Structure 1
Amino acid sequence: TRQGISDIEARTAKRVVTTGCGQGSVFGDLMAEVDSITLPAATLSQADLYGIVNAIRLQETTYKSSGSVHGCALFHGAEMLVFVEDVGRHNAIDTIAGWMWMNSKEEMSGADKVFYTTGRLTSEMVIKSAQMGVPIVVSRSGITQMGLDLAQRLGLCAIGRATNKRFLCYSGVDRLRLQRELMEKGLSFTAQTV
Structure 2
Amino acid sequence: MLLNKFTIQVPIAKINNDDIIIKNDIIIKEERVSFYLNGNKIISTMCLPNEQDFHIVGFLMNEGVLESIDDINSIKISKDGLSVYLNAKINEDNISNLYYEKTLTSGCCVGVSANFEGKIVEKFISSKISFSIDKIKSIIEEFDYNSKLFNLTGCVHKVAIICDNKKFISEDIGRHNAVDKAIGKARLKKANLNNAILIVSGRLSMEMVIKCAMSDIPVVISRAATTALGVKSAQKLGITLIGFARNGNFNIYTHKSRILT
Which category describes the TM-score, using the shorter chain as reference length? 0.7 to 0.9
Q: Is the 8 A contact 1:142 1:161 kept in 2?
A: yes
Q: Is the 8 A contact 2:163 2:193 kept in 1?
A: no
The TM-score normalised by the length of structure 1 is: 0.75
Q: Is the 8 A contact 1:52 1:80 kept in 2?
A: no
The corresponding residue for 1:190 is: none
The corresponding residue for 2:201 is: 118
Structure 1 stretch 158-167 or stretch 55-64: which is displaced more?
A: 55-64
Residue 68 of structure 1 aligns to a residue in which SS? Answer: coil
The corresponding residue for 2:144 is: 57
1:171 and 2:254 correspond: yes
- Which protein is bigger by CA-based radius of gyration? 2
Look up the equivalent residue of 1:66 and give its one-letter code.
T
User: Shift of the alpha carbon at 1:90?
Assistant: 1.3
How many residues were matched structurally? 170
- Against the structure 1 CA distance between its residues 80 and 144, is the aligned structure 2 distance closer, same or farther, given a 3 Å change threshold? farther
Q: Deviations over 1:140-161 (max 9, x none)?
A: 0010111111011112111000
Q: Is the 8 A contact 2:163 2:192 kept in 1?
A: no
Q: Deviations over 1:20-57 (max 9, x none)?
A: 447756435x3222233231222221111111111112
User: Shift of the alpha carbon at 1:85?
Assistant: 1.2
Q: Is the 8 A contact 1:75 1:113 kept in 2?
A: yes
Percent identity between matched residues is 27
Look up the equivalent residue of 2:248 and give its one-letter code.
K
The structure 1 residue matched to 2:218, chosen from 135, 148, 155, is 135
Q: Is the 8 A contact 1:157 1:175 kept in 2?
A: yes
The corresponding residue for 1:187 is: none
The structure 2 residue matched to 1:68, chosen from 155, 176, 189, is 155
Structure 1 gap ranges (5+): 179-194
The structure 2 residue matched to 1:43, chosen from 130, 133, 148, is 130
Q: Is the 8 A contact 1:159 1:168 kept in 2?
A: yes
d(CA) in 2 for partners of 1:177 and 1:62?
A: 35
Residue 73 of structure 1 aligns to a residue in which SS? Answer: strand
Q: Deviations over 1:85-138 (max 9, x none)?
A: 11011111111111122111xxx1111110000000011110011111111001
d(CA) in 2 for partners of 1:148 and 1:116?
A: 16
Q: Is the 8 A contact 1:90 1:125 kept in 2?
A: yes
From the two aligned structures, give the one with the greater strand fraction: 2
The TM-score normalised by the length of structure 2 is: 0.57
The two structures, once aligned, show a CA RMSD in angstroms of 2.8
Q: Is the 8 A contact 2:158 2:175 kept in 1?
A: yes
Q: Is the 8 A contact 1:76 1:113 kept in 2?
A: yes
Q: Is the 8 A contact 1:75 1:114 kept in 2?
A: yes
- Against the structure 1 CA distance between its residues 129 and 103, is the aligned structure 2 distance closer, same or farther, given a 3 Å change threshold? same
The structure 2 residue matched to 1:90, chosen from 176, 183, 202, is 176
Structure 2 gap ranges (5+): 1-38, 41-91
Residue 42 of structure 1 aligns to a residue in which SS? Answer: coil
Residue 187 of structure 2 aligns to a residue in which SS? Answer: helix
User: Shift of the alpha carbon at 1:84?
Assistant: 1.2
User: Shift of the alpha carbon at 1:76?
Assistant: 2.8
Residue 31 of structure 1 aligns to a residue in which SS? Answer: coil
Q: Report 1 or 2 for greater relative contact order, CA contacts < 8 Å, sequence distance ≥ 6.
A: 1
